[in-house]
Structure 1
Amino acid sequence: MGVCEGRVVIVTGAGNGLGRAYALGLAAEGAKVVVNDLGVGTHGEAGLTKGAAEKVVDEIRAMGGEAVANTDDVADWEAGGRIVKTALDTFGDLHAVVNNAGFVRDRMFVSCTPEEWDAVIRVHLRGHFCTARHAVDYWRAQQKAGKTVDARIINTSSGAGLQGSIGQSAYSAAKGGIASLTLVQAAELARYGITANALAPNARTRMTQEAFGERMSQAENSFDVYAPENTAPLVTWLCSTQSAFVTGQVFELQGGKIFLSEGWTDSPAEDKGARWHAGELTPVVQRLIAARHPAKPVYGA
């Protein structure tokens, strides 16, 4: 029996890459999966991968699993409700939402247009809001009706969101926002039996292959460090009942390495006991920077 036996899970952006690996991994561990994918390209171009969700559903059914396709837009409020309704109408319940859908519009900040900025923020931040918000309404109603809720929200941040990435100002801002959103969800939703965690995977996808090329090329005769399937076991475990004790965490992954992001925390401080004068702050700030743990560098710096 798999760790997700009988669990119903929505995976957004599940037609390719990481999302596809998550959907297949969840199904292999007994989950019933709603495979959501709008069928767009890596920059959000409509129709480039039409039918991707259905193909993944066929793969899951061929291996003996249960799945249903959904092609709604995760960043549309009404569509988010339809995604949740698909799970409830097909499988009668919902236990987890894996927010994975997204695309990039790589551009240096000085060249980024308002339209590109809005498109990236919409699919990532609003896309993480809509489906999960409808799911929370369902879980909250269950809890208020006296039912035991053991639900999960799995969000997708990125190293770009945690450290920043040159040429990806909108994407980095959105992914940083998702990490913060996860912290708030974990704090607010625990009372309803809902946990919230996030991932910052480092894997080969359509988006990362465009950005990093050879670095993400498939390994030969050795462990494929960047295979998207490496991230699937953690996602599956986070969706299971076994992960109930974990919430408000951001997991970073690369190959067989898994670790937690320590996030923002207080550094060493200097207290004058009175108001500082602007002219005396240079050595103070220098000492504080020298005393703290060094930050990871911005990607591409």
Structure 2
Amino acid sequence: MELLILATEGGIPTSNPWSQLALPLGILIFVGSVYMLMRSNLGTRRGYLVMGASLWGFGFLLSLFWAFGAPGTPPNTGPQNLPGQELDEYQPVWVPFAQDAAVVTEEGSPYASAVNAYPDGWEDPPAELMPAGDEEDGPGTEGVEVGAQNIQSFFGSLADNEEFDFGQNVLFGTEAQVGDPLYTVADNGRPMIAVTFGNTCELAVPADAEEGAEPVLPDVCQDAGLENGDLLPADAVDENGNSLRNEQTFFAFFDAGAPYFPSLLMVGIMGVLFALHMGLLARDETRERRETEETEAEEVEVEERATVGV
């Protein structure tokens, strides 16, 4: 991902025709030149089969390293997506959704029972998912903290979308997380988290203040000794007794993805092509050997006839 961004910013963009010609030109120059050399020595068919068997054999070995690694080389270092797909198509990810989302309301949804029962049946996340870390220190993308961040980023991005009305399923960036995420397992076995966000103490000019007055925190925040950005007290009410604390709960399920799929697919493709070219090469050599033996036999027969005639 970083390499693609750097290449786009510091070089030719992917939409440029020259960047689209780079791969075919590379194949034509580097593979084509080798084929021409093989063809001049072995002929058209044999030269292609030798080159093909060598090329796909090397690709097969390389794809094995991609998929399974080697001493000093970690596994799953090959392609992360297929042509035309997003760069993180098969990567593990937390998928955020709201309580009224289609993944919940559709018939037979594996997430409906857990969402509708919330908070019953939900509990603190297991220790291995809390907190998130890198590959050495923790579960990384499986950590519930990463899931909570994905939820906040996703629903925060909806606030700027003027094309659709998302109702209450929007975060404006002035909310804060209430407590730790809660955890459960969906009917399909996928981990789920629920994260609650509440409104915070924000600087504002009182409605009855004079023009040009400085913004201040609400009285309930000042009385509680809170600062700008802190969660409003749970018992904060207005003059009419209505609660000032508004909370929204969002959910996410963990999709483990299939990070090994592109590499394993390359292993299969390269292996099939290697085996095919090896079989064709063996067949071509067998046919050449048979033709040579038949030619030699005919020459012997002609010599014998000539000898008998003399």
Same fold, TM exceeding 0.5? no
The structure whose Rg is larger is 2
Q: Larger relative CO (CA 8 A, sep 6+): 1 or 2? A: 2
Give the alignment's TM-score, normalised by structure 1: 0.21
Give the alignment's TM-score, normalised by structure 2: 0.21
